[in-house]
Every structure is written in C-alpha cells, then in structure tokens.
Amino acid sequence: MNGTDWGALGVNLAAAAATALTVLLATFAVAVRRGLHRIVDIAWGLAFSAVAAVTWLLSAGHGDDGRRLLAAAATVVWGLRLAVHIAHRSRGHGEDPRYTALLDKAPGNRTLYALRTVYLGQAALVWLISLPVQAASYSSAPLDALAYGGLALWAAGLVFEAVGDQQLARFKQDPANRGRIMDKGLWAWTRHPNYFGDSLVWWGLYLFACTAWQPALAVLVSPVVMTLLLTVGSGKRLLEKHMAHRPGYAAYTARTSGFFPLPPRRTARGTSEGTK
C-alpha cells in the first residue's frame, strides 16, 4: 500500500537539521577567519544538496527508489549549480553591502550577531524549505503523473534561473554596458528571472511530495516560504531597494514585470539607463 513512513521521516528530520547546521557552522568558521560573510550565499545551495544527499542515504528501504532518486538528484543539481554560480560571481569581491548593513545594526558583538541572524537562521530555513524533498523520499508511492509534472516544473525553473544568470553575467562582462540596465532577454520579461526560476524549482519539488493529502498539506509551507523569501523577504525587495536610486531604474520597473514573466509594457521611452 502506498504511504509515508512517518516514523523514519521523523528520524530524517533530525538528521537533516544536523546536516544543515553542520554546513552553516562550518561556513561561519570560514567566514570569520576570512572576515567575509558573503560566502554564506555559496553555502545556501550546498546545504540543500547535503540535506538531499543525507536524506537519500537514510531513506533507503523506506521509500520508492525512483521517487527518492528523483528528489535527491533534482535538489543536488539545483543546489550545486547555484553554489558554483554564486562562487564565480563573487570571486574577487569584498563584503556584500547587505551583510555590512545588517552587521552595522548589531546591538552587541558583531560576530555573534552574524551567527544568530544569518547562519543559524539560514540553517533553519534550509531545514524548513527542504521538507518536500524529505517527505517525498519516505513515500512508497511510485512515480506518477504529478511527480513528472513536478519534474517539468523544476526543469523549467532551473532553465529560467540559469539562463537569466548567464544573460546577466554576459551583459556585465561587456564594457559597453557599463552604466546601463540589463533589460534584454528574460530580463525584459521580468526584473528577477533568477528569483522566479527559484520559485518554480521549489514548487516542482513540492509536487514530488504530493502522494497523498497528508504529506501535501504538511510540507506546503516549503514552497510558500521560499516564494515569500524571494518576493518580500531578502530577495526582490532588498535588491530593488538597493537599485531604486539608480538612473533609469524607475523606467525599467514601469515597463517590466516585477516577478511573473509578462510581455514588456510600452512606455514613452524604449531605452534604459543605469546599471543592474
């Protein structure tokens, strides 16, 4: 009979928490030594990949092998791609202004404040957002149409995110684009193709766990939290606040969707200025 091994899943929840905490604490130690907290962004994808790998190992004999492998592989591919991209993008740069601004508000010891608000917070989020991957791995239900639909959604999100990142990186490498806003390719349809792609990835992973109403309801918090983080949390909202004062950005926002890809709106001026 198809179902979820809730007892074994409970053990995995503890192991996943320990895994996420280990990755983020190790990153914290490296960051303190280097005096550079921006490397925590690299650990974000690595922590998800580690949780998925540990879950795959522990769930052997408790869930359908096809579903287990799909959930683990999809998460690892997404997490490693993101980590490699961020590592390459941040190479040679100093501290991220977001972390500088955050730590400038520290009421006491900056290092302990960073540990509490950044590293422990991210470890908790990794555990929470990875719930569908964990739940899917302990379901005995074989792969079905909903799982394959989730795979299609995941793939669309991954492509959207990766292509958006590549387009922006290529744009920034061209000296002729200095002082201009990236408004070509996917960036003409949404101001945040990478964040939109991220959201699709996690809604796709969520569908892997929808083998019955109980696990589907139990892990719904995961894609909801990820989408909120990307739109009103530390993603879109903070980036747009940082960009708001730049020349041409207001015109860009006037013609370009803030999140969901939509055809560019017609404006009085078709060109843009500034930098992204």
126 and 149 assigned to the same domain:
no
- 157 and 179 in a single domain? The answer is yes
Of 82, 106, 141, the domain-final residue: 141
Number of domains in the chain: 2
User: In the structure, what pLDDT confidence band is assigned to residue 267 with cuts at 50, 70 and 90?
Assistant: low
Quickly state the pLDDT bin for 233 (edges 50, 70, 90): confident
pTM value > 0.95: no
Q: What is the pLDDT of residue 272?
A: 37
Give residue 271's pLDDT band: very low, low, confident or very high (50, 70, 90).
very low
Mean per-residue pLDDT, 42-67: 98
Same-domain pairing of 8 and 129: yes
Residues 122 and 152 in one domain: no
Phi, psi angle pair for 208, to nearest 5°: -60, -30
Q: Which one of 141, 160, 194 terminates a domain?
A: 141
Q: How confident is the model at residue 247 (pLDDT cuts 50, 70, 90)?
A: confident
Q: Does 155 lie in the same domain as 135?
A: no
Q: Supply the pLDDT for residue 94.
A: 87
Sequence-ordered list of residues with C-beta below 8 angstroms from that of 253, at least 6 positions apart, any chain: 191, 240
Q: Which residues on adjacent β-strands are paired with residue 4?
A: 139
**Rounded Cα distance, 84 and 45, in Å:** 9
pLDDT, tens digit (0-9, with 9 covering 90-100), for 36-46: 999 999 999 99
Give the length of the chain.
276
Q: Report the pLDDT value the prediction gives residue 202, as an integer from 0 to 100.
A: 98
Higher pLDDT, 135 or 173: 135
Expressed as residue numbers, the domain containing 265 is 144-276
Looking at the structure, tell me whether residues 25 and 155 fall in a common domain.
Answer: no
Do 204 and 255 lie in one domain? The reply is: yes
Bigger pLDDT: 236 vs 229: 229
Given a contact cutoff of 8 angstroms between Cβ atoms, the answer to whether 87 and 102 are in contact is no
Same domain, 16 and 54: yes
* Sequence-ordered list of residues with C-beta below 8 angstroms from that of 217, at least 6 positions apart, any chain: none
Residue pLDDT, tens place only, 148-187: 999 999 999 999 999 999 999 999 899 888 878 889 999 9
Lowest mean pLDDT among 32-36, 104-108, 180-184, 272-276: 272-276
Same domain, yes or no, for 221 and 275? Answer: yes
Q: 150 and 229 share a domain?
A: yes
- Looking at the fold, whether 124 and 241 belong to one and the same domain comes out as no
Task: Please check whether residues 156 and 91 belong to one and the same domain.
Answer: no
